[in-house]
Structure 1
Amino acid sequence: MSIAASLKQQPQNETERADWWRGAVIYQIYPRSFADSNGDGIGDLNGITRHLDHVADLAADAIWVSPFFTSPMRDFGYDISDFRGVDPIFGTIADFDALVERAHALGLKLMIDQVWSHSSNQHPWFEESRQSRDNARADWYVWHDPKPDGSPPNNWQSVFGGPAWTWDARRGQYYLHNFLAEQPDLNLHNPDVQAAILDVARFWFARGVDGFRIDALNYTMHDLELRDNPPMPEDGKPRTRPYDFQLKQFNQGHEGIARFLERVRGVADEFGATFTLAEVGGDFAETQMKEFTADDKRLNSAYGFDFLYADKLTPQTVCKALAGWPGGDGEGWPSWAFENHDAPRAVSRWADPEHREAFLRMKAMLLLSLRGNSILFQGEELGLTQVDIPFDKLQDPEAIANWPLTLSRDGVRTPMPWQATHEGLGFSTGEPWLPTGPDHAALAVDRQAGDPESILNWTKRMIALRKAQPALREGTLHDCRADGSVLTFERRQDGQRLLCLFNLAAERAAFALPDGARIIAATGTHEPNLAPYAALIAQLES
């Protein structure tokens, strides 16, 4: 069956199902870099609204919009000073409502980030909390006395470098911040804080939001005994921050998080067919993802960093990640991403320039063949490369603090190229907040849209294939195997069996299709053997 013929099997009103998210393709938008509507060089909500046709044309099921909330922008929106406000940089609450309306008119669900582990130090809650030890919000953040020698309460380290504790003279105590000192940790052990956060969730659900991606979820509760983290066993990985020297056993992943998520699920259920997705990183990510999504009474799905920071894409890496989600009773639903706003472009990590075109086609087919949800980061459908941002133009606080040993997150956050020959590549009429990629004009949307062989149009075909084949969208996964550079697994649903096969190397590889197999999609040559980064999906006899 051809890809075109298989589209006739696509169910109608796919996003109207209560479990629309199961097997969904989710398109992540980083607002600062997607589209600028007012010429100030920074993307905004109106820019997103004006370019949603692009996402609808991809046939994605949903968009996930990264933070647009009121913020001092010390961590570009992940330091929130009003959980219910829209930062003027991005527009107004009316602009957000218009975005929701336009997304729904196009058949797109709309998800937004929720950042519940911390706030900005300019949030009114924190400004009140730091005033004294006995005010109404004194216990809304994590405060503790110093050790007798004046040093921090324990050895916990910040992700951004240095101790995870900052001294506050007004309280005469330290406060916890797992990220920047300007991002104090909320005390989610406090029932009043939980109630406030649940009210924030209700606020956004009531405005028509269809789901949440919850940032740094495993940081939302800490060990109440404040026990020291043990040293990280030697693993051969480079250590560029003090944070890398510890096993993060006590500053994240508290058992109380799972109980709180049952309350979150209850709020989501109040509003009908909503979707909740956890971001979970760290040393115990797989265990915590399972806890956070267990028994259909917590969150719907979770994703970690199996691929986001992997130096190489190997069959073993893929099979190990998939093995963590076998589909047993009470297990949540996985989501997968190869790129996001924090992780470098996959094509720059995993392929040499000579083979990028072939690799990008294989990568799209692989991501859209995995059991779970597929998350595409803006520009991934264009094959955008990582941009090398010079030090004098860096915006990322982590990269600046750890220069030059930490790869800048700015390199994946560069402006979306819409028009190849326009100033700023059609992103803005002003100077963009980050430089555009030197090779991104050739990859611009307008240049690729009219080319049937472009990566953009290939990605559209792969999304269409996923939607047309029930086994790819929601089926079970079986027999994941690594044979040299060749990865194979089966997807099955209602008697349908699909063999998915990928050469993950820049060299040719031998393979043999089973008797009776019929190829329904392929990239690269596969006879007499697989070309570098060739891939195919074949219908097997039942």
Structure 2
Amino acid sequence: MRKDWWKNAIIYQVYPKSFLDTNGDGIGDIKGIEEKLDYLVELGVDGIWISPVYLSPQVDNGYDITDYRKIDPMFGENQDIYHLINKAHKHGIKIIMDMVANHTSEQSVWFKESRKSKDNFFSDFYIWRDAKDDGSEPNNWGSNFGGSAWEWDQSRKQYYLHYYAKQQPDLNWENPRVRQYIYDMMRFWKAKGVDGWRMDVVTSISKDQNFPNNPNPHKKPFVIGNQNNGPRMHEFIHEMNQEVLKPFSIMSVGESPDSTSEDAQLLVDPDREELDMIFTFEHMHVDRAKNGMNGRWDLQQMDLVKLKRILSSWQLNLRNHGWNALYFENHDRARTTSRWGNDKQYRYESATAFATILHGLQGTPFVYQGEEIGMTNSNFGIEDYEDIELTDNYRELVLEQKTISKADFLKAAHKISRDHARTPMQWSNAKNAGFTNGTPWFKVNPDYEEVNVANDQTKENSVFKYYQALIKLRHEDDILIEGAYELLYPEDSNVFAYKRTLAEKSWLVIANLSDKQLKIHDYLPQETEKDSQIILANYLDRTNAAGILRPWESMILELS
């Protein structure tokens, strides 16, 4: 297999806690992933990205790691993951593990030792600073989960930095020992057969050592910002590449929240030897109000023109300069069908329309569990949410600062809460959606009796079958891998349309992302309407490129 196998691959993300429980404790486990390998083979994916399964107190659902080399008992044993890796390889499926190297759990032995004194081996594994003269925090940096990014430690009599929960202290990458410990952990997992790494907030690992205050236009006590693309970030990532990624031919995809396509060129240009791909957040903020004081909870209508502009900039700026990672859903993103689509009248159509747009682009598509059957958001009450980001933000913004009402916060949560991605996978209409025989760790979406794998696979209008067809298309035709990209109708607020061209062949990818009926010939040269061949369409009665473009209708056409 070629070295850059991931360019022709589709990666499926598993959130183990919510995937499949095989021992009845209500929590998904590693054996549950293994049990569904045949299902993933049927879907056609080439790799599985597994969210963290390491030992963890689960303050942030496993992204707070106590021991990078030990599997948490809630998921099984180390032998279970070793067995899964071997069995997946026999099925032709590669395994991508999740690496959280910006921070650990406060329960890590590294941190327990670090907080004991200022002069032991682990003292400088984390970022410690003295209090100001008045005892307050070193600066105004805010945590992504609310409040200050600094926490006072009584035993050491200093503050430590945490970009996320106070139980997630940030590692000090300025310390070369920290970096070597991380690289050694990566070698450990490579020796067990791991094929790639997804790297959590990897662009946060370098901190500005001057620790300046962040700009504060809203005069808030603490401000989120200045957390990515630090002064030594590229140096650290290149070093990781040279130490581990390059010698062992390990695929890498880094989470890079603030990256634009121009930033990405520096991270993924093969000549720079840093990362293979990155996940940007840029296109996922097109429903976020600009400069809102409540951050992600200040929502607006999804701006399709902006979405097209952003995705197109990545297609054009990375062409011949690197590779795209394509996604709409993951463990941090709500269900696209509910967030941007119509999950009531047109659930199948909007789920498949967004899939068409994404999988038609150049890059590696990532499919999140349940996305392939069109899973939706739940209408939870505030007491039902589990995610620490939401609960901390609710306390700070609604109860303490009163900058947003409970009703508006809940309305936003119904659209964008991370918890919508974490409800148990809906396998069947059996009790608990076939996820567990016990009591599930988190509420099952009430729509599971209708929206589930078993039901979807029997339907003519099957989201699963449509994903199968998209994946098959990417495996069989190089135009979607190598073809040039051209955005059409950039200012149209209803339709996303673009061309992919390779040699003499040209395909049109088009989707009506609205409830409206539109005329196809407004988006297609008339002389090509009758001669265009339908490659794939989500309305099964579509036989040619004439007539009406129906609500949430999408298709891929070969232009004559």
TM-score by length of structure 2 reads 0.87
Contact 1:22-1:474 at 8 Å conserved across structures: no
What is aligned with 2:290? none
Please name the residue that 2:321 is paired with: 331
| Aligned residue in 2 for 1:523 | 538
Give the conservation status (yes or no) of the 8 Å contact 2:265–2:317: no
| Aligned-partner Cα distance in 2 for 1:84–1:494 | 48
Alignment-derived partner of residue 263 in structure 1: 239
Q: Distance in 2 between matches of 1:402 and 1:328?
A: 35
Q: Confirm or deny: 8 A CA contact 1:214 1:279 kept in the other structure.
A: yes
Residue 324 of structure 1 aligns to which amino acid in structure 2?
W
C-alpha distance in structure 1 between counterparts of 2:368 and 2:241, whole Å: 26
2:329 maps to 1:342: no
Q: CA distance change for structure 1 residues 480 and 193 in 2, over 3 Å: closer, same or farther?
A: farther
Shift of the 304–242 alpha-carbon distance from structure 1 to 2, 3 Å rule, reads farther
Aligned twin of 1:503 = 512
- Asked whether the 8 Å contact 1:23–1:474 carries over to 2, the reply is no
Contact kept? 1:29, 1:64, Cα under 8 Å? yes
1:409 aligns with 2:418: yes
Aligned to 2:291: none
Q: 1:304 aligns with which of 272, 277, 280?
A: 280
Alignment map for 1:32-181 (pairs within 5 Å)? 32-181=17-166
Q: Which amino acid aligns with 1:323?
A: S
Equivalent in the alignment of 1:379: 370
Given candidates 455, 459, 465, the residue that maps to 1:457 is 465
Distance 1:325 1:527, change over 3 A: closer
Among 382, 385, 396, the alignment partner of 2:387 is 396
Q: Cα distance, 1:473 vs. partner?
A: 2.7
**Partner SS, residue 36 of structure 1:** coil
Deviation at 1:202, TM superposition (A): 0.8
Q: Counterparts of 1:388 and 1:532 in 2: how far apart (Å)?
A: 24
The alignment partner of 1:443 has SS state of: coil
SS of alignment partner, residue 419 of structure 1 = coil
Aligned to 2:442: 434
Query: Within 1, Cα distance between the matches of 2:156 and 2:269?
Result: 40
Q: How big is each residue's C-alpha offset from its partner over 1:476-524, in whole Å with a ceiling of 9 and x where there is no partner?
A: 3124432342222111234322111121211122332333532222233
Match of residue 486, structure 2, among 478, 487, 492: 478
- 1:12 is matched with which residue? none
Could you say what secondary structure the match of 2:257 adopts? coil
SS at match of 1:252: coil
Letter in 2 for 1:291: L
**Percentage of pairs with the same residue:** 36
More divergent stretch after superposition (346-355 vs 128-137): 346-355
Whichever residue aligns with residue 445 of structure 2, its letter is: G
SS of equivalent residue, structure 1 residue 261: helix
Change (3 A) 1:117 1:427: same
Gaps of 5+ in 1: 1-15
One-letter identity of the residue aligned with 2:477: Q
Cα displacement (A) at 1:72? 0.8
- Identify which of 318, 336, 360 aligns with 2:308: 318
- Are 1:535 and 2:554 matched, yes or no? yes
| TM-score, length-scaled by structure 1 | 0.90
- 2:431 counterpart of 1:423: yes
Write the distance in 2 (CA, Å) between the matches of 1:307 and 1:443: 27
Tell me by how many angstroms 1:280 deviates.
Answer: 1.1
CA contact (8 A) 1:315 1:504 kept: no
Where in structure 2 are the equivalents of 1:149-228 lying within 5 Å? Answer: 149-228=134-213
Any unmatched runs of 5+ in structure 2? Answer: 288-301, 395-405
Q: Is the 8 A contact 2:208 2:231 kept in 1?
A: no
State the Cα deviation string for residues 212-253 of structure 1 (Å, max 9, x = none).
110011211110010111136x8xxxx9x976x55x23x331
2:336 & 2:24 partners in 1: Cα distance? Answer: 30
Alpha-carbon spacing, 1:487–1:183, altered in 2? closer, same or farther (3 Å): same
Change in 2 beyond 3 A, CA 1:37/1:310? farther
C-alpha root-mean-square deviation of aligned residues, in Å? 2.1
Contact 1:281 1:304 (8 Å CA) reproduced: yes
Q: Deviations over 1:157-190 (max 9, x none)?
A: 0000001000112211100000000000000111
Per mean C-alpha deviation after superposition, the further-off stretch among 501-510 and 367-376 is 501-510
Shift of 1:155: 0.7
Q: CA deviation at 1:383?
A: 0.5
How many aligned residue pairs are there?
Answer: 514
Match 2:341 to one of 337, 342, 351: 351
Seen in structure 2, the aligned counterparts of structure 1 residues 60 and 23 have a Cα distance that, compared at 3 Å, is same
- Return the match for 2:255 from 251, 257, 279: 279
Superposition deviation, residue 290 in structure 1? 3.1
Q: Which residue of 2 aligns with 1:22?
A: 7
- Give the corresponding residue for 1:5: none
Q: How far has the Cα of 1:269 moved from its partner? A: 2.1
How far does the alpha carbon of each residue in 1:464-484 deviate from its partner, in whole angstroms, 9 at most, with x for none? 122222111332312443234
Separation in structure 1 between the aligned mates of residue 319 and residue 433 of structure 2, nearest angstrom: 49
